[in-house]
A and B are shown apart, each in its own frame.
Chain A
Amino acid sequence: MRPAEETADAAEAAGLAVSEPVAGTGGVPDAKAGRRPPVLVAGLVVTFGVLVLVALASVALGARSVPFGTVIDAFIAPNGSSDHTVIRELRVPRTLLGLGVGATLGLAGALMQSLTRNPLADPGLLGINQGAALGVTLALGLFGLGDPTVYFWFAFGGAALASFIVYTLASSGRSGSSPVRLALAGVAFGMVCTAISSAILRMDSETFDRMRFWLTGSLAGQTADTLVRLAPFMAAGLVLGLLLARPLNMLALGDDAGKALGVAVNRTRILTGVAVTLLCGAATAAAGPLWFVGLIVPHAVRAAVGPDQRWVLPYSALAAPVLLLGADVIGRLIARPGEVQVGIVWAVIGAPIFILMARRKRVAAL
């Protein structure tokens, strides 16, 4: 290892914070030299194309095998057959949900990592998933609210509360929100939530039985209704998040540099927090705690397009659903006639990729 790299590693290890020496003009972390906007735009278009293909595959493929012609018929000439019903009522909502959840989680991860300058920031690490899970546990276990359209509000509330508490905790004190404090606060709070959840589950085996499926994260079993309710939150979070790219670029240089460049630091932080809460709350409510999506996708994206948030954010929002839906399709196909939850497939595919990236280089660049 070169000394420079070792130093950077050490610095990262010490503070988890990584500030890349910034090349480019005007102090803005520019995309990697050689990757000019036309290439990046083309890449974005290609990613979108792949996303469409994966979405089509998700509609066409599943535990039940349906011929391709029938799939097309289901849209142009629905006849109410069971195949058509499966496609229209189950697979299409599920695909749309996968798209929405993937995009929200990918963007949420990218936003969190950028805001906290912490390459490990992820809804799981910062206690947001655990907050949502606690909300659902309370709904199911204490209040006996088994209806998904009701308990997702609890998940949503739990996620929002968790992000608020963790962030408040980490930003109090003299030195403000340092990445390590944030991570520690997230983990500590997440632990408390998990402890309370498991105490409840421990005393209530019926809830435990239902929760063990929800807890692995799954796109199955949600209706179009859920999607309709959550869509506004997801959309609002996506728009808000994408608009924050420029100020976040400035904040990446450090709070002081950001301030000097005219960024309203606190406003940016708060708005980012709001966007993250909307995104994570909606996604977790819809699909359960999907670990790791928000962690790994932005890492891979940064490795490909460089540190400019104006590209990282949209790429993350597009690439995450490709991978999430892909994992979901694989999960449906490998265990026919049953299926493996997307959260599991995702981790089994994603974790080795993440490990390889960690080995290869400094994944941490932000």
Chain B
Amino acid sequence: MVSSRLSGTGLTLAYDQRVVATDLSVTIPDASFTVIIGPNACGKSTLLRALARMLKPKAGAVHLDGSVITSLPSKEVARRLGLLPQSSIVPDGITVADLVARGRYPHQKLMRQWSKADEAAVAEAMRATDVAGLADRIVDELSGGQRQRVWLAMALAQETPILLLDEPTTYLDISHQIEVLDLCADLHEAGRTMVAVLHDLNQACRYATHLIVMRAGEIVAAGDPTEIVTPELVEQVFDLRCEIIQDPQTGTPLIVPEARRRVAAATA
């Protein structure tokens, strides 16, 4: 049994009355780069929000370090577990440096608002995400990709051993997507537990050390991508016929969707 600081058992997740998932159990292995994947509206973001205590489960509980997460002081949790939400609001006229600095909130007190540790953490977060050069720019004026990196820097400045990311590559072009994912991989190698919701199955297979595949509110498969990703799984989850080859760069599974002609031939 792998050790796990963060897990959920018997989760029933719902918004108001609309139930998204019932009796869901999930374990995030420590020091893993876990990626949650599945078709749109399968409940993957909902699961992530529940793990980050954004959403209170109707039944079941999320455990962090053996305690029910909602029983811990929220600020205490925020020092162990960070979240990059799918969408946040940029306050009017805020600069990059100020926004990233807000990530230090859980470490600050009323009378200790800006310690040397805060300064170092912010500088390091901005360096890692390559936004140091933008420090004095107004966030509103940045491009989508720059902005996403700024938000990531804010989450990094929080300096949590576990970091949850809800679709961190949305709005980014392919090179920035890879850049963000490489950064996540670096953070993972440096010892953090990373959990991300991603859209792209190939990227998920390449970066994840632990893959959680969801469909219609259920976890269909979980484990090492090289072991669990099969054409059958992809068809079951995404309704997509495909071939799986080895990624020439990493040896991880690479999904190649069937070409149109062959689909036509198959149905004929």
Give A residues with C-beta under 8 Å from B. Answer: 1-3, 7, 10-11, 13-14
Identify 10 new A-B residue pairs, CB closer than 8 A, beyond the known A1-B16, A10-B87, A10-B89. A1-B15, A2-B15, A2-B18, A3-B45, A3-B46, A3-B86, A3-B87, A11-B87, A11-B89, A14-B89
Nearest residue (CB) in A for B91 is A14
Nearest residue (CB) in A for B90 is A14
Task: Bits for B54-93, please: 1 = Cβ < 8 Å to A, else 0.
Answer: 0000000000000000000000000000000011011000
Subset of 18 A-B contacts with CB under 8 Å: A1-B15, A1-B16, A2-B15, A2-B18, A3-B45, A3-B46, A3-B49, A3-B86, A3-B87, A7-B86, A7-B87, A10-B87, A10-B89, A11-B87, A11-B89, A13-B89, A14-B89, A14-B90
Give the residues in chain B near A1, CB-CB below 8 Å.
15-16
Nearest residue (CB) in B for A6 is B87
Residue from A2, A3, A11, A13 whose CB has the most chain B CB atoms within 10 Å: A3
Nearest residue (CB) in A for B86 is A3
A253 vs B16: C-alpha distance in the bound complex, in angstroms? 31
Nearest 9 CB-CB pairs, A to B? Answer: A7-B87, A2-B15, A14-B89, A10-B89, A3-B45, A1-B15, A3-B86, A10-B87, A3-B49
Give B residues with C-beta under 8 Å from A. Answer: 15-16, 18, 45-46, 49, 86-87, 89-90
Nearest residue (CB) in A for B140 is A175
Give the residues in chain A near B15, CB-CB below 8 Å.
1-2
Report the minimal beta-carbon distance from A176 to chain B, rounded to whole angstroms. Answer: 15
Report the minimal beta-carbon distance from A119 to chain B, rounded to whole angstroms. Answer: 18
Report the minimal beta-carbon distance from A3 to chain B, rounded to whole angstroms. Answer: 6
Give the residues in chain B near A3, CB-CB below 8 Å.
45-46, 49, 86-87
Residue from A1, A2, A11, A13 whose CB has the most chain B CB atoms within 10 Å: A2
Report the minimal beta-carbon distance from B106 to chain A, rounded to whole angstroms. Answer: 22
Give the residues in chain A near B89, CB-CB below 8 Å.
10-11, 13-14
Report the minimal beta-carbon distance from A195 to chain B, rounded to whole angstroms. Answer: 27
Report the minimal beta-carbon distance from A21 to chain B, rounded to whole angstroms. Answer: 14
Report the minimal beta-carbon distance from A43 to chain B, rounded to whole angstroms. Answer: 30
A11 vs B46: C-alpha distance in the bound complex, in angstroms? 20
Nearest residue (CB) in B for A5 is B15
Give the residues in chain B near A10, CB-CB below 8 Å.
87, 89
Report the minimal beta-carbon distance from A4 to chain B, rounded to whole angstroms. Answer: 9
Give the residues in chain A near B45, CB-CB below 8 Å.
3
Report the minimal beta-carbon distance from A361 to chain B, rounded to whole angstroms. Answer: 12
Give the residues in chain A near B86, CB-CB below 8 Å.
3, 7
Give the residues in chain B near A14, CB-CB below 8 Å.
89-90
A11 vs B45: C-alpha distance in the bound complex, in angstroms? 19
Nearest residue (CB) in A for B15 is A2
A13 vs B91: C-alpha distance in the bound complex, in angstroms? 11
A332 vs B87: C-alpha distance in the bound complex, in angstroms? 51
Report the minimal beta-carbon distance from A13 to chain B, rounded to whole angstroms. Answer: 8
A94 vs B86: C-alpha distance in the bound complex, in angstroms? 55
Report the minimal beta-carbon distance from A120 to chain B, rounded to whole angstroms. Answer: 18
A324 vs B90: C-alpha distance in the bound complex, in angstroms? 41
Nearest residue (CB) in B for A14 is B89
Give the residues in chain A near B87, CB-CB below 8 Å.
3, 7, 10-11
